[in-house]
């Protein structure tokens, strides 16, 4: 973001202080003052993150230690961006002149005199932080909660049912199969639960019951809290509470008996009518009253009321009808409420059983989920007995608390924070008796679009009031953006002012912009098709009822093909922008609320050769190249898996043809040919086709016609003449079959095609490797010996190369990371890959057109934004859900009720669901605000015409009146964006082989389980001991004490503690490594040195400089690795190269060397190895 300037005029109303207009300079003076508690409500593009990081910078300048500052956000990506921005600023201010530093401080609210005074301190701030070797704490909410709980008493963790290890489970999908097994076992063991399960399955169906249980699992936090505080069972009131006049009846249906006479009289009255409708109703009532109460009530209900519950028309008007209908409607309300309460209580029993099983499963595995962290933090910060201890610890650790995107905070997260901060309320620091930390909260309720993740925008208002009243803070608001062009912002203002006037949206204030305009792209436009043409596009070429060859022709989904017309229009507009050079692919976003339309567009763009990226995590096994490699591993693990072998042979790795597979099938004699000509490659020259008849099934003569389908007479096969069987038919010898694997590996090379000949040699080698090496090493051999990357890059279009190559690299990384690399054998690794719900993160492709959901685009911006499918209506009402009411001021949910249908709720939940509907409509408009404000210069609106109009306004109806029509450019042909002819892959630099004695040691380590431990804890402990020992206070503590403290901190057992001691002593006692830890011999040294370079946030294990005899200073980047040969790992080499480049950028003109320090005390200088790697890693 561009820093705020003082010379650009701005509308004074765009900045407010406690609701009153304020000058821009005063606004930033207050916002960036680290001594004040401040809440900032800022519009999109106002620079919220800029303000937060500026405040961190000001706090550091004022003398705050890095560890005194805690900044909290909601994603790791956002936390990384904050760190990167802070590091970039520190580097910039360390190298710019004083004038630049003074300007930067003026922009951050300091007066001229103070800015001049602090400029020299700003120049040395980066050096000070590097020497302190402690970073600013920038974390996600869950990471901070985890840090708090790691220091919590074990008794509290046990009371909350939390495992002391606090190993975080980020995706519970892997546990779901076992969880459902445990749940069903628990239901089978309890007769009451089994009866409930059967009843609900009969009433709603098993699929609906599963949906209900899944909803309960997703809302387990609210459900647990309501249960623990006695609010769960009574969340659904009794029928007597809803209809008090029926309180005397144990079951509301009993009241129907008292109405039979009244209804009989009503039927007689209807029967005397001359009109048709009353007579029919009289007959229906009389027939219904002949049955039992429940069936009779159902019949009367159908006779008198519509499905929506209103009285049927044309029944006339009479006092008897009015009285009976009123009483019946009240009775029906009571019955609906009674039934809803019964189902609610039954579902509570099943849901709590499910959650109990989940809690036991987590405890057994020593894991916690994110909900546990929030719940545990609330218990810790709100515990009466521990409050003093917690307050004291936080007082000493946190002096500045900053929270970004606060509108995405959940009630549970807010109550955890409130439990801590409320201790400072009152004179003299309240109950804490300490000066409260300065609190900075920034957010925008207009951008709250994560209610499905429990975000509650009303929490922002509660926090705003608390900071203002309890912490004597100030409330700032900024409605001035630096992102959107004048036409885009004019459309935003028009849309939301209209919604405000219609009382559909509150809290919107007109925005102003810093953009001066004048860009040719500036504008808001729409492109449109018509209903008829889009419907024609969705039609199928094949007439209804005509057979479709399903193996070669996919099913045409009409709705998806309706979207193709819109996708073609969008692709044409994108192609026109690219052809004219008005925008690059990475400067164009296509946004939609759902991914279905984006997937259709992706196929269109793929056909046009336009580079595009849909940053959507996909199932690992859905990646075609992962499936290819998995098929190969499957065949190597079990040579009898012929389908897997066929799959692998047809992949780009081997490139075998269909004829090659037919040859293998024929040679293996495992396939019977039904009346077809044998493949030429398998015919025996001395044997006729008829002689081979028993072997090939029907044994049809070569060239004879295929048998015609149809019924055959006895003794006939198709059109073949009947034949009398011989008295003793000869029994042909059963053909000897072989597996495809045997055929391929035993065949003469002269008989094989080139792809099969290549596969024969590689598979034979890899089969031997699979027995001796780990799955990762086997995969590494397959990728490199098989030239997989080169072959894959040559086989796929240029627009897909990055994603396809990324999938292979992700599988290689997973082979090391999956379950801590515990799989030593291939079979277990393949089985784990197939059974686990593993995800493949999409690669970053910043130079491609971005296809994003609105949620995925939040926080991003682009030169051109296209809103796709803008006429889609809001989501339908949910069924088999939970209705939840959690007022912000209450610590636990007020209502958690199981609900069959939101469209037909029980009476007691109607008000709650009306409020929920209002909140969803608000969030729908918030999503439109987020989508529109992503556009810097051009906003383009598109739609697939809706078949029926939505009752509520769509994005199209709101924005289109404020946009100009744009003609759709001529559609692109497939050759408009030619694919690249040549794909160039980067090669690793040559690394000298390690000495034989080290190679032998490495082999020994690889064979001895006692010597190998891939645990990250051991590596962290080694880093920590070396950091402590070489730090400012290292000499004051014995090495044994430091090692014991690290072993305790990381929970090392005796074996790993012994290895830690060996590694530490080997490093410090080494003649090569030891001098790098001797502070007296070093010119400068630092541990855990944070750097930011080219957008990469990094932390160097150790950075030192030392001078030679001539006084020349040389910098050394040192990276600790436990493995004896880390230079063999390309990822480690790339990491070391990046570290070295970053230091070279910081210290231009000075020599920089880099080396690994291994756990065996070896210094491996890799400077020459990485020096020529710019082409590889840049």
- Among 464, 513, 477, residue whose Cα is nearest residue 26: 477
User: Do residues 74 and 144 touch, judged by C-beta distance below 8 A?
Assistant: no
Complete domains list, the chain, with CATH: 13-76+135-148+373-482 (3.40.50.300), 169-365 (no CATH), 484-538+559-615+844-878+933-972 (3.40.50.300), 619-683+735-840 (1.10.486.10), 996-1177 (3.90.320.10)
What is the C-alpha separation between 1161 and 1167, in angstroms, rounded? Answer: 18
- Among 885, 876, 880, 877, residue whose Cα is nearest residue 908: 885
User: Do residues 691 and 704 touch, judged by C-beta distance below 8 A?
Assistant: no
Position 1034 scores a pLDDT of 64
Position 981 scores a pLDDT of 46
Query: CB neighbours of 919 closer than 8 A, spacing ≥ 6?
Result: 451
> What pTM was estimated for this model as a whole?
0.76
- Among 235, 253, 241, 250, residue whose Cα is nearest residue 300: 253
Neighbour count for residue 672 (Cβ, 10 Å)? 11
Q: What is the 3-state secondary structure (H, E, C) of 1060-1079?
A: HHHHHHHHHCCCCCHHHHCH
Position 1067 scores a pLDDT of 93
Q: Which residues of the chain have pLDDT under 50?
A: 1-12, 427-428, 430-431, 540-541, 674-677, 680-725, 974-983, 988, 990-1014
For residue 305, what is the DSSP state?
Answer: B
C-alpha pair distances (Å), 998 with each of 454, 761, 1154: 54, 31, 20
C-alpha pair distances (Å), 117 with each of 62, 95, 113, 270: 12, 18, 6, 95
- Among 510, 486, 481, residue whose Cα is nearest residue 496: 510
Neighbour count for residue 35 (Cβ, 10 Å)? 9
Characterize the bridge pairing of strands 1152-1158 and 1163-1165.
antiparallel
Which pair of tokens denotes residue 1157? 């320090």
User: Do residues 985 and 788 touch, judged by C-beta distance below 8 A?
Assistant: no
- Among 652, 617, 973, residue whose Cα is nearest residue 797: 652
Position 358 scores a pLDDT of 96
Position 566 scores a pLDDT of 92
User: Do residues 736 and 669 touch, judged by C-beta distance below 8 A?
Assistant: yes
Neighbour count for residue 817 (Cβ, 10 Å)? 12
Neighbour count for residue 544 (Cβ, 10 Å)? 5
Position 24 scores a pLDDT of 93
Dihedral, CA atoms, 1134, 1136, 1142, 1143, nearest 10 degrees? -160
Query: CB neighbours of 536 closer than 8 A, spacing ≥ 6?
Result: none
The distance in angstroms from the start CA to the end CA of the chain is 25
DSSP 82-134: HHHHHHHHHHHHHHS-HHHHHHHHHHTT--HHHHHHHHHHHHTHHHHHHHHT-
Neighbour count for residue 167 (Cβ, 10 Å)? 12
Give the max Cα distance, the chain: 121
Position 514 scores a pLDDT of 87
Query: CB neighbours of 1108 closer than 8 A, spacing ≥ 6?
Result: 1114
Q: What is the 3-state secondary structure (H, E, C) of 719-763?
A: CCCCCCCCCCCCCCCCCCCCCHHHHHHHCCHHHCCHHHHHHHHHH
Position 841 scores a pLDDT of 80
Query: Which uninterrupted H or E stretch holds 251?
Result: none
Position 701 scores a pLDDT of 34
Position 5 scores a pLDDT of 44
- Among 1039, 1041, 1017, residue whose Cα is nearest residue 1030: 1039
Position 996 scores a pLDDT of 44
Give the burial class of 380: count Cβ atoms within 10 A of its Cβ; 0-12 exposed, 13-18 middle, 19 or more buried.
buried
Position 1173 scores a pLDDT of 62
User: Do residues 1138 and 1093 touch, judged by C-beta distance below 8 A?
Assistant: yes
- pLDDT tens column, 466-480: 999 999 999 999 999
DSSP 308-346: TSPBPTTS---HHHHHHHHHHHHHHHHHHHHHHHHHHHH
What is the C-alpha separation between 423 and 910, in angstroms, rounded? Answer: 38
User: Do residues 634 and 628 touch, judged by C-beta distance below 8 A?
Assistant: no
For residue 446, what is the DSSP state?
Answer: G
Q: What region, left, alpha or beta, does residue 268 occupy, with left being phi > 0 and alpha being psi -120 to 50 degrees? A: alpha
Which pair of tokens denotes residue 629? 């490699």
Which pair of tokens denotes residue 351? 């849901």
């Amino acid at each position: 973001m561009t820093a705020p300037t003082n010379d650009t005029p701005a509308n004074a109303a765009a900045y407010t202080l406690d609701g009153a207009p304020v000058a821009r300079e005063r606004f930033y003076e207050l916002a960036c003052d680290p001594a004040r508690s401040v809440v900032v409500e800022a519009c999109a593009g106002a620079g919220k993150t800029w303000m937060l990081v500026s405040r961190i910078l000001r706090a550091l300048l004022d003398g705050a230690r890095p560890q005194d500052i805690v900044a909290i956000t909601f994603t790791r990506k956002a936390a990384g961006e904050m760190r990167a921005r802070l590091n970039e600023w520190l580097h910039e201010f360390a190298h710019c002149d004083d004038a630049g530093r003074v300007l930067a401080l003026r922009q951050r609210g300091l007066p001229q005199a103070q800015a001049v005074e602090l400029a020299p301190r700003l120049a040395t701030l980066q050096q000070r932080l590097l020497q302190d070797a402690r970073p600013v704490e920038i974390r996600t909410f869950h990471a901070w909660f985890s840090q708090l709980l790691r220091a919590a008493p074990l008794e509290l963790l046990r009371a909350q049912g939390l495992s002391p290890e606090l190993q975080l489970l980020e995706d519970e999908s892997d546990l779901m199969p076992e969880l459902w097994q445990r749940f069903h076992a628990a239901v089978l063991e309890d007769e009451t639960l089994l009866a409930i399960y059967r009843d609900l399955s009969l009433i709603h169906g098993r699929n609906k019951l599963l949906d209900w249980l899944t909803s309960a699992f997703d809302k387990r936090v609210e459900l647990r809290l309501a249960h623990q505080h006695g609010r769960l069972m009574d969340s659904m009131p009794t029928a007597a509470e809803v209809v008090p006049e029926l309180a005397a009846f144990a079951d509301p249906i009993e009241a129907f008996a008292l109405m039979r006479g009244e209804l009989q009289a009503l039927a007689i009255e209807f029967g005397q009518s001359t009109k048709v409708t009353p007579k029919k109703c009289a007959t229906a009532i009389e027939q219904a009253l002949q049955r039992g109460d429940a069936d009779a009530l159902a019949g009367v209900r159908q006779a008198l009321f519509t499905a929506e519950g209103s009285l049927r028309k044309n029944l006339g008007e009479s006092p008897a009808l009015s009285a009976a209908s009123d009483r019946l409607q009240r009775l029906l309300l009571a019955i609906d409420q009674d039934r809803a309460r019964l189902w609610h209580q039954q579902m509570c029993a099943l849901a709590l059983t499910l959650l109990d099983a989940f809690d036991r499963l987590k405890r057994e595995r020593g894991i916690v989920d994110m909900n546990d962290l929030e719940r545990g933090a609330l218990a810790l910060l709100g515990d009466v007995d521990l409050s003093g201890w917690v307050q004291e610890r936080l007082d000493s650790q946190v002096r500045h608390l900053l929270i970004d995107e606060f509108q995405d905070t959940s009630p549970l997260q807010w109550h955890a924070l409130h439990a801590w901060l409320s201790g400072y309320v009152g004179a003299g620091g309240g109950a804490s008796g300490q000066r409260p930390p300065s609190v900075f909260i920034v957010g925008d309720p207009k951008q709250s679009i994560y209610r499905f993740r429990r975000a509650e925008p009303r929490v922002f208002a509660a926090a705003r009031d608390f900071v203002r009243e309890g912490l004597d803070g100030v409330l700032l608001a900024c409605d001035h953006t630096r992102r959107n062009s004048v036409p885009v912002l004019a459309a935003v203002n028009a849309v939301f002012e209209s919604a405000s006037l219609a009382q559909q949206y509150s809290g919107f204030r007109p925005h102003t912009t810093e953009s001066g305009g004048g860009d040719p792209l500036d504008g808001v436009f729409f492109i449109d098709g018509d209903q008829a043409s889009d419907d024609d596009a969705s039609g199928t070429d094949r007439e209804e009822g005509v057979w479709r060859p399903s193996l070669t022709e996919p099913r045409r989904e009409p709705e998806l093909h309706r979207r193709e017309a819109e996708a073609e229009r969008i692709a044409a507009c994108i192609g026109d922008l690219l052809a004219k050079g008005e925008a690059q692919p990475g400067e164009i976003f296509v946004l939609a609320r759902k991914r279905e339309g984006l997937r259709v567009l992706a196929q269109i763009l793929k056909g046009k050769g336009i580079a595009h990226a849909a940053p959507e995590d996909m199932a690992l096994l859905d990646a075609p190249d992962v499936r290819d490699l998995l098929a190969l591993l499957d065949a190597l693990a079990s040579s009898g898996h012929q389908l897997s072998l066929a799959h692998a042979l047809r992949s780009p790795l081997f490139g075998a043809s269909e004829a090659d597979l037919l040859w293998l099938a024929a040679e293996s004699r495992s396939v019977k040919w039904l009346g077809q000509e044998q493949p030429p490659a398998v015919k025996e020259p001395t044997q006729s086709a008829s002689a081979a008849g028993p072997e090939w099934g029907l044994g049809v003569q070569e060239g004879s016609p295929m048998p015609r389908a149809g019924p055959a007479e006895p003794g006939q096969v198709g059109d073949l003449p009947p034949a009398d069987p011989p008295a003793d038919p000869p029994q042909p010898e059963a053909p000897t079959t072989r597996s495809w694997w045997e055929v391929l590996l035993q065949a003469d090379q002269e008989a094989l095609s080139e792809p099969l000949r290549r596969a024969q040699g590689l598979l034979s080698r890899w089969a031997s490797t699979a027995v001796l090496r780990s799955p990762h090493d086997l995969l590494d051999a397959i990728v490199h010996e098989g030239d997989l990357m080169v072959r894959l890059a040559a086989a796929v279009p240029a627009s897909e190369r990055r994603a396809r190559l990324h999938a292979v690299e992700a599988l290689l990384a997973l082979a090391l990371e999956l379950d801590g690399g515990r799989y030593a054998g291939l079979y277990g690794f393949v089985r784990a890959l197939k059974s686990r719900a593993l995800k493949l993160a999409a690669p970053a492709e910043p130079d491609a057109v971005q296809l994003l959901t609105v949620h995925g685009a939040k926080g991003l911006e682009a030169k051109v934004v296209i809103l796709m499918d803008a006429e889609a209506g809001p989501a339908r009402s949910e069924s088999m859900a939970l209705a939840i009411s959690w007022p912000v001021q209450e610590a636990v949910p007020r209502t958690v009720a199981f609900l069959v249908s939101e469209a037909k709720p029980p009476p007691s939940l109607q008000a709650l669901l009306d409020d929920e509907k209002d909140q969803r409509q608000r969030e729908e408009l918030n999503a439109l605000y987020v989508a529109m404000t992503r556009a810097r210069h051009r906003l383009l609106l598109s739609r697939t015409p809706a078949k029926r109009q939505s009752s509520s306004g769509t994005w199209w109806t709101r924005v289109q009146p404020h946009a100009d029509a744009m003609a759709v450019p001529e559609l692109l042909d497939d050759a408009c964006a030619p694919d690249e002819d040549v794909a160039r892959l980067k090669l690793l630099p040559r690394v000298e082989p390690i000495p034989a004695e080290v190679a032998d040691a490495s082999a020994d380590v690889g064979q001895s389980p006692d010597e190998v431990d891939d645990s990250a804890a051991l590596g962290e402990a080694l880093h920590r001991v070396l950091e402590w020992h070489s730090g400012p206070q290292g000499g004051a503590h014995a090495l044994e004490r430091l090692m014991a403290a690290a072993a305790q901190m990381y929970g090392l057992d005796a074996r790993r503690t012994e290895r830690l001691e060996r590694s530490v002593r080997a490093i410090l006692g080494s003649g090569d490594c030891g001098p790098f830890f001797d502070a007296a011999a070093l010119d400068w040294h630092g541990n855990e040195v944070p750097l930011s370079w080219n957008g990469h946030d990094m932390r160097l294990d150790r950075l030192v400089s030392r001078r030679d005899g001539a006084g020349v200073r040389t910098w050394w980047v040192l990276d600790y690795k436990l493995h004896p040969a880390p230079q063999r790992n390309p990822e480690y080499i790339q990491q070391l190269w990046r570290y070295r480049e970053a230091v070279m950028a910081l210290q231009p003109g000075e020599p920089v060397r880099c080396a690994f320090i291994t756990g065996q005390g070896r210094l491996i200088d890799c400077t020459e190895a990485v020096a020529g790697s710019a082409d590889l890693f840049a």
